Amino acid sequence: MAENIVKIDDDSFDVEVLQSDKPVMVDFWAPWCGPRKAIGPVVDELATTYSDKIKFTKCNVDDNPVSPGKFNVRAIPTLIFFKDGKVVEQITGMVAKQKLEEAINKVT
- Please identify every stretch of the chain with a pLDDT value under 70, giving residue numbers as ranges: 1-2
- Is 25 strand, coil or helix? strand
Rounded Cα distance, 63 and 107, in Å:
28
What proportions of the chain, in percent to the nearest 5, are helix, strand and coil?
35, 25, 35
Domains annotated on the chain, with CATH: 5-107 (3.40.30.10)
Q: Which of 46, 28, 10, 47 is nearest to 90 (CA)?
A: 28
Q: What is the pLDDT of residue 1?
A: 62
Q: What is the pLDDT of residues 33-58, one digit of tens each?
A: 888 888 989 999 999 999 999 999 99
Q: What is the pLDDT of residue 99?
A: 96
pTM of the model: 0.95
Rounded Cα distance, 71 and 88, in Å:
12
